[in-house]
Amino acid sequence: MSRAVRWAAVVLVLAVAGVVALWPRASDTDPPPDRPAASGRPAPDLGPLREQAALRPCPKGEGGPEVLRGVTARCLGDGSALDVASALPGRAVVNFWATWCVPCQGELKVLDAYAREPGAVPVVTVLVESKEGDGLELLRKLDVRLPAVFSEEDAVRKAVRPRPGMPVTYVVGADGTLAEVTKYPVLTSVDQVREVVG
């Protein structure tokens, strides 16, 4: 092997080693590509989406279901933190939904129509398994203005432990008890909502 060939081989090995050393690679601390970093990056500005969605404010009061006392979530309408139990101070309807759930979309429209009726009990929705911005965008497209809460940690659903599947709806009694609506897996009319609320 000639001297020139040996030097060419050495240069090639050094070049490959340099490329390998400089090649970017994920570390154990990097978030998966489908999940945003927990900290260090600013949260997206949802102000314009909140304005466009124009959701009704989350109710606030005293009491509420004991299982939800101390559970904190964000009100989608204004981004404020609230104790979820305080958003359900008396009789109410609680609806768990997700942006990917097609039956949820129809049910949200029915619940919104019910909530606009005189004498309706408050309806509060809980966004799960979805991004906050996607939830605001869907509510805007559906023209649904119901108060909604969201917890990145899924704190509300963990506290209530609803059955698997979507949507899931509960009626909150005057004593703060939660009764799952089982007669209608998906509420398809305002009359059905009135019936389950009693």
pLDDT in the model for residue 184: 96
User: How many helices (H) and strands (E) are present in the chain, helices listed first?
Assistant: 6, 7
pLDDT in tens, 148-179: 999 989 999 999 999 899 999 999 999 999 99
**73 three-class SS:** strand
Q: Mean pLDDT over residues 59-80, rounded? A: 92
Alpha carbons 172 and 168: distance in angstroms, whole number: 13
Percentage of the chain exceeding pLDDT 90: 67
The answer on pLDDT for 76 being more than 50 is: yes
Percentage of the chain exceeding pLDDT 70: 78
pLDDT in the model for residue 6: 63
Alpha carbons 149 and 126: distance in angstroms, whole number: 5
Q: Are 48 and 137 in contact (CB under 8 A)?
A: no
Please give the backbone phi and psi of residue 36, each rounded to the nearest 5 degrees, phi first. -70, 155
pLDDT in tens, 13-62: 555 554 444 444 433 333 333 334 344 455 578 889 899 898 999 988 88
pLDDT in the model for residue 89: 84
Alpha carbons 169 and 182: distance in angstroms, whole number: 8
pLDDT in the model for residue 63: 85
Mean pLDDT of the chain, nearest integer: 84
Cα dihedral 152→108→56→116 (10° resolution): -160
Is it true that domain 47-197 has CATH number 3.40.30.10? yes
Alpha carbons 52 and 57: distance in angstroms, whole number: 14
- The domain segmentation of the chain, as residue ranges, is 47-197
pLDDT in the model for residue 145: 96
